Amino acid sequence: MRKSIVCFATILALAGCVTTASEEGAGGDGVKTIAEAGIDPSAPHTALIASPPKTKDLKFGEVVKDCTISSSKLGKKIEGYPQKRPVVYLYDSNPKSYAPHAFYLKGFQDGCVRKFVASMAMLGDLELHEALRYTVDAKTMPYSDTDNEYERLKGRICGKKSGEPCGERRMKSFAKTTAFLTIYESFGNSNKYAEVLVYKGKVVASDLTNLR
């Protein structure tokens, strides 16, 4: 049931939406507040916030850095990517719940987890992303900022032009450093979700999509 919803929502995710602050190149501890990034606090966003609020205060779409929580309190490890020798791990604090609750992403260079609230979350496969993205006309579904950042990274690592698959030989190396994270506001309703692109332990792009 979950897989069917996720696959459908992944196809929809190609539409893209609002991009936000990136940790890539950020000063200090590598994060920016909404104000520092010049983002309207009232606008939909996936934010990188220096001081992690309590779970109950987190808004959907906010991804925050948390260096205070111990590994024993992350909950159940539900997924790793790539499947062989994973470098990024997704934890669910309450896997029996379909209501919004805390999830954690582990595998960042600074040793801190990234925390967010969702009803469901999934790490995305790069080959699946390419298969879906490259079969949809860009005029019909314009590239999102996560799509564009993926293409930039792919070009640098795989030596391929935009719209061309990375290729099996380079993909194994690419997948060791790069992953998509998709988070859903509610179980069984894919109208609102956020997509985050992680590269070498940093959030490099993110989009929040709200389908009407």
Q: pLDDT at residue 150 above 90?
A: yes
Report the pLDDT value the prediction gives residue 147, as an integer from 0 to 100: 93
CA distances from 125 to 104, 131, 169, 175, 205 (A): 18, 10, 16, 8, 16
Q: pLDDT at residue 2 above 90?
A: no
Report the pLDDT value the prediction gives residue 123, as an integer from 0 to 100: 93
Task: Report, as an integer, the average pLDDT of 161-190.
Answer: 88
Report the pLDDT value the prediction gives residue 190, as an integer from 0 to 100: 59
User: Which of the four pLDDT bands, split at 50, 70 and 90, describes residue 62?
Assistant: confident
Type of residue at 188: G
| CA pseudo-torsion sign 193, 166, 128, 116 | negative
Over pLDDT 70: what percentage of the chain? 72
DSSP H or E run through 181:
strand 178-186
Considering the chain, what is the average pLDDT of its residues? 76
Q: Which one is predicted more confidently, 72 or 206? A: 72
- 108-137 pLDDT, tens digit per residue, is 888 889 888 899 999 989 999 999 999 988
Residue 153: domain span = 2-210
Q: pLDDT at residue 13 above 50?
A: no
Task: Report, as an integer, the average pLDDT of 200-210.
Answer: 80
What is the pTM assigned to this prediction?
0.71
Q: Ramachandran region of residue 33, left (φ > 0), alpha (ψ -120 to 50) or beta? A: beta
Count of domains observed in the chain: 1
Report the pLDDT value the prediction gives residue 5, as an integer from 0 to 100: 38
Q: pLDDT at residue 194 above 80?
A: yes
Q: Range with the lowest mean pLDDT among 95-99, 160-164, 199-203?
A: 199-203
Task: Report, as an integer, the average pLDDT of 139-161.
Answer: 92
